[in-house]
Structure 1
């Protein structure tokens, strides 16, 4: 029979932990925004501190960095969106022909071909009109979703601003909960977490840019239609480790299959294989491994668990959260080892 040896205080501690996790799960969407702001703060803070060391006021440094980042993002979007919209619209209009070519390429039955073509001939406009007719409040939901996304983006920017400006004060506030060596240990762990999150984000953007650019160059050389949307998909999916790059191959192969050229299909497969091998052998080890330091199997499990618990946002944040948990585990293990060594030394002294 099981006997609980702890006292009332242990029961209260266990209950408090359960309640804390339950509350965190309830407000997980808010915590996700806070964590994103913390990641951005970790990435920008080294630059802010460098400017501050050059006697640039911290507030001005933060405003400059955020302003430059937002401006670069706007320029990137403004540069990519027109050709992306054009190629995507062409792709949508070409869906019936693409499906027809794919069915011919893979010798699908006539019944399957007719079904695919029937679905594709509905067209994007008819599909949107049908959805609007079926549900009169669709526009309201879309508008609400866009407004909600804008609010979240603004919230993250504002949180990042205050976390950067008040970085020292926030660190000191939490550090005051500890004393002596415990406080020093807390500051040390804080620094480790910030460094790892910052390196992860900078590395992630570097990998996404490299893969997106090389995919676009390679697909353009092969003459594959819709190279820009496919390259952007390849770059964006890099944010989901291991699984994302594998998924990015699928749309490229489908477009290649629509050309009715086995050589084009083979060339696309070889291109993506080479890109992923270069990524796995050179790019990821140099850029990402120092940031995360997780086993690939653990990364896959983390992405699956994150996706299950938090949907797409959970999948995106699963790796940095796992990196923070890894730091906590390493420090706990180090603490236990030091404690055992002290106990052993104390026992030897007694004898």
Structure 2
């Protein structure tokens, strides 16, 4: 039984890494084949939309020929701007593919390092405890050890709750899109699940990208997908994230929302990701301090 207990954590870590790799592979398999097709279809869709809009304006009694000419010229100008922006974006994407790959690898290495750190936390804690005992008095070592244990437990629970939330968000989007007959539901759901590690903003980025793909099939369904996402976002922002993540790390819903907001304003995306567990650690330490002082008074 001792061997099995020792192997339990490494096996769990391997399964987590395999799951992450499978998610990335699935995302690439779903996105890359449709990317070129979507870009090629986008120009055709825009042209069709402009033609239908011009017919609609032609049949209107309230639009004169001069007004029609002005409107069409303006729309064509915007269409050209959009096309040029897409070309510029793709050119930049191609020229900076090395930077993009490097960013992806760095993000993956951070995840690997984090899980590796948590998997060997007992060994690291023992080494740190020995070092602290050599440097500091026993009373200080006890307090520092308590703080370290709170931080490790909080980050461990935070990562697990983020994985649970990623699955919930991905399934909600995939099922919601399928119910309403919106294409690319699975792709958008997987993408949103991966990006859900960025609170609130991550799934929104995924759904906007998904809406671009959907637009090539049906502009109406693209708008419907954004509307459906707003509903899912309300559920995710007000119920799922505060409940799943906040409760798992012992942080009230209000503080969970405040942590993500303050972290995002101060440090951007990284602040949104890591400020929640930092808040949780501070909240728990302050709470334990207050309880200890109250017990001393009693």
* TM-score where L is the length of structure 1: 0.60
SS in 2 for 1:197: helix
Q: Does 1:195 align with 2:153?
A: yes
Partner of 1:86: 33
Q: Equivalents in 2 of 1:337, 1:275: separation in Å?
A: 42
8 Å CA contact 1:196–1:323 kept in 2: the answer is yes
Q: Does 1:318 align with 2:280?
A: no
Q: Equivalents in 2 of 1:229, 1:243: separation in Å?
A: 18
Partner of 2:248: 291
Q: Equivalents in 1 of 2:107, 2:123: separation in Å?
A: 24
User: Judging changes above 3 Å, is the alpha-carbon distance between structure 1 residues 268 and 202 closer, same or farther for their aligned structure 2 residues?
Assistant: same
CA deviations on 1:277-310 (whole Å, 9 max, x unpaired) are 6546764565333224445554444334323443
* TM-score where L is the length of structure 2: 0.69
Aligned equivalent of 1:303, options 254, 260, 264: 260
CA deviations on 1:203-257 (whole Å, 9 max, x unpaired) are 1111111110121122123222332332234324433434555666555666666
Superposed, 1:194-273 pairs within 5 Å as 194-244=152-202, 250=208, 259-261=218-220, 264=221, 268=225, 271-272=228-229
Aligned equivalent of 1:68, options 15, 18, 22: 15
User: Judging changes above 3 Å, is the alpha-carbon distance between structure 1 residues 55 and 254 closer, same or farther for their aligned structure 2 residues?
Assistant: same
Q: Equivalents in 2 of 1:257, 1:139: separation in Å?
A: 25
Identify the range of structure 1 (265-274 vs 306-315) with the bigger mean alpha-carbon deviation: 265-274
The Cα RMSD (Å) is 4.3
Q: Equivalents in 1 of 2:88, 2:49: separation in Å?
A: 23
User: Judging changes above 3 Å, is the alpha-carbon distance between structure 1 residues 183 and 299 closer, same or farther for their aligned structure 2 residues?
Assistant: same
SS in 2 for 1:94: helix
Q: Equivalents in 2 of 1:187, 1:308: separation in Å?
A: 31
Gaps of 5+ in 2: 58-69
Identify the range of structure 1 (80-89 vs 245-254) with the bigger mean alpha-carbon deviation: 245-254
The alignment of Structure 1 onto Structure 2 pairs a total of residues equal to: 280
Identify the range of structure 1 (190-199 vs 117-126) with the bigger mean alpha-carbon deviation: 117-126
Q: Equivalents in 2 of 1:59, 1:296: separation in Å?
A: 36
Q: Does 1:329 align with 2:293?
A: no
